Amino acid sequence: MEIFHIGGKSGKLAAVFSPAQGRSKRTGVLICNPLGHEYIRFHKALAVLAKELSQSGFNTFRFDYYGSGDSYGEDLELNMETSNNDLRLVIEEMLDGCEIDNICLIGVRYGTIPCFNTLDHPDVKSAVLWNPVLSGEGYLGELEHNHKEFISGSFAVCKNDYGFESLGFLYSPELVKGLKEFSMVSSEAVPLEKLLIIADDEFLQMNALERYSCFSKTGITLLTNSVPKFWHKQKGETDKSIVPFPEIKQIKKWLNGIQ
């Protein structure tokens, strides 16, 4: 495992590279993080996922968007455009540094958005959307609801209006605007060979994803989360362990299967 900064002077991104163990596969994997408190919830899970995939022979990258995690930049400097640019930068870094033929993007929650927006990259041949955000508007609504729910039941009081605030994080006006305009389902068909979507059973029942035009040209596999809403732990939810191993195994199995 190597940890380093990538990017120019103004946009240093913290990245973690888990090199393939044993015989290297021709597909490299790039993990796109969630945001805010969901990033904190998923951090260990995605570190474990990267480790597992590297042990299966995949060169695996994960990184923090500019303005998140250990990367340079502040919360309010992050928006969808910067995230998309960050992802493309890391893709180029991977293609330069690894002996791979193509890339599989794994997006989680917010990470499914830059991931989806980058599926037109000629070297991206497959993707995993784990708990995809189909509508930015709906995602914002969920963030807002969860924040209000938490604040109303805690000692915390949000005194100043710093903008869109949810569970300890600020979301820039540009990000909020971008999210409001984002809709995966109304997008054009993505030119992707293979796609895995992992989501809650309720989500999959409500959304007939295989019938959406955006996925009409894609070989799509749907799998169900072992624990619903893993990203938001609430009272008594002891089954929400730190690392959702069943989903990690599913992703590993699917990736091995498409090689």
Task: Considering the complex, state which of residue 151 and residue 220 has its C-beta at the smaller distance from other proteins.
Answer: 151
Answer yes or no whether residue 206 interacts with other proteins by CB under 8 A: no
Answer yes or no whether residue 153 interacts with other proteins by CB under 8 A: yes
219 forms beta bridges with 194
DSSP code at position 111: G
Task: Considering the complex, state which of residue 150 and residue 212 has its C-beta at the smaller distance from other proteins.
Answer: 150
CB of 236 to other proteins, least distance (A): 7
CB of 109 to other proteins, least distance (A): 16
Binding map of other proteins across residues 28-57, x = CB under 8 A, - = no contact: ---------x--xx-xx--x----------
Structure tokens at 80: 């969808």
Answer yes or no whether residue 234 interacts with other proteins by CB under 8 A: yes
Of residues 60 through 99, those in contact with other proteins by CB under 8 A are 68-70, 72, 75
State how far the Cα of 97 lies from the Cα of 15, in Å rounded to an integer: 13
Answer yes or no whether residue 150 interacts with other proteins by CB under 8 A: yes
CB-based contact 160:209 (threshold 8 Å): no
Neighbour-count burial of 170, counting CB atoms closer than 10 A to its CB (0-12 exposed, 13-18 middle, 19+ buried): middle
Answer yes or no whether residue 168 interacts with other proteins by CB under 8 A: yes
Answer yes or no whether residue 12 interacts with other proteins by CB under 8 A: yes
Full DSSP string of 32-46: E---HHHHHHHHHHH
Which residues 6+ apart lie within 8 Å of 237 measured at CB? Answer: none
Full DSSP string of 157-211: ---S--SEEETTEEE-HHHHHHHHH-BSTTSPPP--SEEEEEE-HHHHHH--GGG
Task: Considering the complex, state which of residue 185 and residue 243 has its C-beta at the smaller distance from other proteins.
Answer: 243
- The single residue among 81, 162, 186, 189 that binds other proteins, judged by CB under 8 A, is 162
* Contact set with other proteins (CB under 8 A): 1, 3-5, 12, 14, 16, 37, 40-41, 43-44, 47, 68-70, 72, 75, 149-160, 162, 165, 167-170, 233-237, 242
